Amino acid sequence: MQIGLVGLGRMGMNMGRRWLKGGHEVIAYNRTYAKSEELAADGAKPAKTLQDLVKALKAPRIVWLMLPAGAATDEHFTELLDLLAPGDLIVDGGNNHYKEDILHGERAGKKKINFMDAGVSGGIWGLNIGYCTMVGGDAASVKRLEPLLNTLAPKDGWLHCGGVGGGHFVKMVHNGIEYGMMQAYAEGFEILQASPYKPDSQKVAHLWNQGSVVRSWLLELAEDAFSKDPQLAKIAGYVEDSGEGRWTVQQAIDTGVAAPVITASIFQRFVSRQEDPFSFRLLAALRNEFGGHAVQAAGQVKRETSAGAGSIEPASAAKNVKPR
C-alpha cells in the first residue's frame, strides 16, 4: 500500500521504516531534505516539497502527518488542502488537541477530503515492538487505512475510538495516566533511596517486574536507566511536559471528574523547572512570622536529604498511633 509521510522526527522516521519493512511504499517529506534522503536509504521515495509528495502519490491518496502539535501541523495541513483532491485522506498522527482535529475535519470536509486523527504511542522502541495506535474518523476511512495500521501496530495494537478527535482524545488520557504512573515510580524510588536500607534501584526495578502488580514497561525503562547511571547523577531533575497532561487535567475540570493524581504529577513537573520558588520562600517567611521558626539566608541553604534518615522508628512509636 502507498502512503505519503510528512515529518521524519524520532517517531516519524521509525514509523516509515516499519511500513517499509511491511512491504508498503512510502513517499517521504521533511523540511530538512537530508531526513528524507536518510529514509530513502531504507527504500522510501524522497520528496523535496509537499507538491512533489502529492504528485508521487496515486489517487485516492493517503498522507500521514507526523508533526509537532499546533502551528507546524496546521501549516502543513492547510497547504495540503490546496494540493489534494476530493476522496484523498489526511491522517494527523501527531499529538494535537482533539478539538483541533474536529476543526481540521470540518475544513477538510468542505473540500470533500477525508480526515482522521491517530494517537500513536511507542516512542523510540516502536520500530521493533510496534506502535499502539488510537484512531478517530469515519468507518470507511478507518477501513481504508487498516492495512497500514496492521503493519504499524503490534497484534491487537490499534483501535477505532470513534469519530474525528476520538483517537487523540484517548491518547490524551493515555498520556495523562502516563504522567501519574511516572510520578508514582519517581516518588517510590526516592523513598527507597532516602531510607537506611538504600537498596539497589536497578535490582528493585527488575524484581518488581517479575510478577509484581506494579510491573510495567515504564519500570523496565527505569531498570535500564539505573543500569546506565545508578544515582542518575548525570541527569538534571528538570522535567518538561508536552501538553497532553495539561489537556487531560483541563478535560477533567470541564467534565467534573476528580483527577488528583494526574493533576499533582503535572504540578510536580512545574516545580522541577523552578529554582528556589517564590511560593516556598513565602512558606518559610510565614512560619517565621507566626512561630518564630528559623529561616535560612538566600544562597546559604543547607538541605537535608531526609528527616531522620539513619534510624527506623516503629510505627507504634508515632504520635497517636496505637499498636495492633
For cell 498511633, name the residue. 321
Q: Which of 38, 171, 223, 244 is catalytic?
A: 171
**Among the residues of 111-243, which ranges form H helices?**
126-129, 139-152, 166-194, 201-208, 217-228
Provide the 10 A C-beta neighbour count for residue 27.
25
Is residue 137 within 8 Å of residue 159, measured between CB atoms?
Answer: no
**Which stretches of the chain are DSSP H helices?**
10-21, 33-40, 50-56, 71-83, 98-110, 126-129, 139-152, 166-194, 201-208, 217-228, 244-254, 260-272, 278-291
Concatenated DSSP letters for 110-141? HTT-EEEEEEEE-GGGHHHH--EEEEES-HHH
Is position 35 annotated as part of the catalytic site?
no
- Pairwise CA distance, residues 104 & 74, whole Å: 8
Task: Determine whether 11 is exposed, middle or buried from the number of CB atoms within 10 Å of its CB (0-12, 13-18, 19+).
Answer: buried
45 carries an active-site annotation = no
| Residue 66 to residue 89: CA distance in whole angstroms | 14
- CA–CA separation, 27 and 47 (whole Å): 7
The catalytic residue among 25, 146, 178, 220 is 178
The span from the CA of 284 to the CA of 277, in Å, is: 11
Cell 539497589 belongs to 200
Cβ atoms of 141 and 92 closer than 8 Å: no
150, 156, 161, 163 alpha-carbon torsion, rounded to 10°: 30
CA–CA separation, 246 vs 248, rounded Å? 5
**Can you tell me which residue has the cell 535490582?**
203
What are the residue numbers of the active site?
171, 178
